[in-house]
Amino acid sequence: MIVLETQNLTKQFGGLTAVNAVSMTINQGDIVGLIGPNGAGKTTFVNAISGLNPPTSGKVTFFGEDTTGLTPEQMCKKGLSRTFQIPSPFPKMTAIESVMTASIFGNAPGVVKDPVQHSREMLDFVEFPMAEDVLSEQLNTVQLKRLDLARALASHPKLLFMDEMASGLSEGELSDIMRILDKISRKGISILMIEHIMQLIMAVCNRLLCIQFGTKIAEGPTQEVANDPRVTKAYLGSAD
């Protein structure tokens, strides 16, 4: 079953084409890695789908429904969640309050009977290492990323976008993230992750999408894309 499909998705900022006619699909259960050099347009691509920065042209289909240009709050209710590259907390809220926002407002009425309990479960699920009443502004990056993930999961997503969840993590934290990713995937949530850490990508992703200068240069099974000469060239530059 196709979860998400984009057709010729394009995002222009004035004269700059940040994402250029990218078409891709995500199937149920996929963990897709979105890779590409810095400034390739990965985050812009994700923003265009999730509604933070609506696309200039092209089409987004989410579970067979045209969702092009919907707002983030509408996409959230349809089952698309995301985390942010720079962890994006509510600084003056406690951890549990932050998760409760998504748990209360991200679900259809009546889905979550007890938002406090539900948020607690989400914090446990992502193995949040701190007390639930700690203020977000007191957390470090690793903790914030966990919190951001718990918030994203609290709205019962069917598809989860993770923007550089693993950047800046230590070896041990990386294996924690892999375990949590596995748990998320086993809940039946499809994942699109922007990532630079090849170790993580090779371990968890079943498919890869590589973007360079806003244009898709490869899409397919992980090994195939990783060995694609165009991808290697995009990352390492050409010999000439």
Partner 1 sequence: METTNTVQSSPAWGTLLGKIGFNPAGILCVFLLMALPFIPPFNQEYLLRWLIYAAFIATLSVGFDFTSGYINIVNFGYAAVAGYGGYTSALLAVNLNISPWIGIFIGGANAAVLGLIIGMISLRLRGIFAACLSWFFGLALMGLATKLVWLTRGPLGLRTPRMFETESNIPFYYLIIVLLILTYVICKMVVNSKMGLAFKAIGQNMDAARTSGINPVFYRVFNFTLSCALAGILGGFYGHYYGILTPEVMHTTKTVEVLAVAYIGGRGSLWGGAVVAFPFIFLMEIIRSTLSHLPGLNLVIYALMLILVMIYYPGGFSHFFDVHIRQSKNKILRILTGNA
* Interface with partner 1 (CB under 8 A): 50-52, 71-73, 75-77, 81-82, 84, 88-94, 96-97, 100-102, 104-107, 116, 133, 135, 148, 151-152, 154-155
Between 8 and 71, CB nearer to partner 1 = 71
Q: How far is the CB of 148 from partner 1 (least distance, A)?
A: 8
Q: 206 Cβ partners below 8 Å, 6+ apart?
A: 30, 31, 32, 221, 222
Between 82 and 216, CB nearer to partner 1 = 82
Q: How far is the CB of 89 from partner 1 (least distance, A)?
A: 7
Q: How far is the CB of 158 from partner 1 (least distance, A)?
A: 14
Q: How far is the CB of 91 from partner 1 (least distance, A)?
A: 6
Between 101 and 167, CB nearer to partner 1 = 101
Q: How far is the CB of 80 from partner 1 (least distance, A)?
A: 9
Q: How far is the CB of 122 from partner 1 (least distance, A)?
A: 12
Closest CA to 148 of 167, 173, 176, 126: 126
Between 46 and 211, CB nearer to partner 1 = 46
Q: Based on the number of CB atoms within 10 Å of its own CB, is 125 exposed (0-12), middle (13-18) or buried (19 or more)?
A: middle
Residue type, 88: S
Between 104 and 203, CB nearer to partner 1 = 104
Which tokens hold the place of 208?
């890869």
Q: What is the widest separation between alpha-carbon atoms in the chain?
A: 61
Between 97 and 127, CB nearer to partner 1 = 97
What distance in Å separates the CA atoms of residue 163 and residue 8, rounded to the nearest whole number?
Answer: 21
Residue type, 96: I
In the DSSP assignment, the letter for residue 131 is: -
3-state secondary structure (DSSP) of residue 163: strand
Between 154 and 165, CB nearer to partner 1 = 154
C-alpha distance from residue 29 to each of 4, 32, 35, 159, 186 (Å): 11, 9, 19, 9, 8
What distance in Å separates the CA atoms of residue 185 and residue 189, rounded to the nearest whole number?
Answer: 5
Q: How far is the CB of 72 from partner 1 (least distance, A)?
A: 4
